[in-house]
Amino acid sequence: MKKHDLHASEEQTISVDGVPVVSRRMMAGSFAVMAAWLTGSGIGRAATRGSAAGQYMPAIGTDYATTDPVYFDPEFPPIHFPHSFKSKAGKPIQSFMWLANGPEAKGCVIISPQANGGDSMDSLIPAILSAGINVMRFNPRGMWDEYEDYSIAGSLDDLLDAIAFLRENGGRHAVPGSGDHPRQYQIDLDHIAVLGKSGGGGLNGLIAASESPYLNTMIAVEPARLRVLPPYYDKHFEEVRVATAGRIDQKKWFDKLTPADRERMDVLKAAPKLVDKNVLLIGSMDQDYVQNIHKPIVQAMNAAGAKHFSAMILEAGNSFMLNKRIALSRIVISWLKNECGF
């Protein structure tokens, strides 16, 4: 891994529900990141590239989060276009593709959107493209259309189908609607990653990585766990249902989960299948999340002997990352390029 001087100018340690959180100002104060590793007492030895580490901090050469690419290829410029791919059952799944500058084969980050269609991490896309990585985002069936009912399990299947789509034709695809001589692009099949938040993104990405031999890299941003929910969630679910005129009915989604669905999507049981995968877990400082989700996932990954697992907490609440998008971009890109070879 190539190292870069981050010029940390100050450091402060605080605690969130017993979990140490290290605050550093980097690069002469221009980059503030909150990072936490669960350390000590068997809870916190997370590993990066197989070695125990105190914390993961991004290595930055070019700062893709704030710097546009210097080189522009007029024959293969960055491009964004809508398209669709088919589910295993032959149903169309709407998706969007962003291609980075240049004709060479590139890795691709699949963005799996949050279950309620809220946060698709779109604000990270320009920085990821600047780093020379393609991006694909899909809309799971039933999320925005009226033809099917959305479900977490169904969106997981759609994510697996998105991976299968990228692998078609050895990763070579044509840009739709690009004329008689369609522009071609090539996906580097050894470098496909999933990025997502909460249940539809973070949880689904972890489970997809445990099920697919073709998904080796996962960035889970505050993933959910399908556990028994506290009673006050019923009130919250009802408020959301009314506010969205019934479009988002989280209680309905939760109640429709079958025992088989819950077993399949138990992230703690999936941990042994992730030991050889690249997994970055990024959490918020919300105490309920830290205690009930972040710590158990870290414990399960450590107990399984994960070889390429990194975990951190950013200074954000459970609405998450709206105040940390540049920091998040830097972390994601540094980890993909320096730890995972993108």
pTM: 0.81
What was the pLDDT predicted at 201? Answer: 87
What was the pLDDT predicted at 226? Answer: 78
Cα(303)–Cα(231) distance, rounded to whole angstroms? 31
- What is the enclosing helix (H) or strand (E) of 308? strand 308-313
What was the pLDDT predicted at 146? Answer: 67
What was the pLDDT predicted at 321? Answer: 61
What was the pLDDT predicted at 148? Answer: 72
What was the pLDDT predicted at 49? Answer: 35
Tokens found for residue 278? 């690249």
What was the pLDDT predicted at 61? Answer: 66
Q: Which residues of the chain have pLDDT under 70?
A: 1-61, 117-118, 142-146, 227-232, 318-321
What was the pLDDT predicted at 228? Answer: 63
* Per-residue CA distances from 206 to 112, 281, 308 (Å): 11, 10, 14
Cα(67)–Cα(54) distance, rounded to whole angstroms? 29
What was the pLDDT predicted at 43? Answer: 29
* CB-CB contact of 20 with 311 (8 Å): no
Q: Residues 167, 168, 171, 175: is their CA dihedral positive or negative?
A: negative
* Calculated CA dihedral for residues 338, 36, 192, 164, nearest 10 degrees: 170
Q: At what angle do helices 204-211 and 152-167 cross, to 10 degrees?
A: 50
What was the pLDDT predicted at 158? Answer: 93
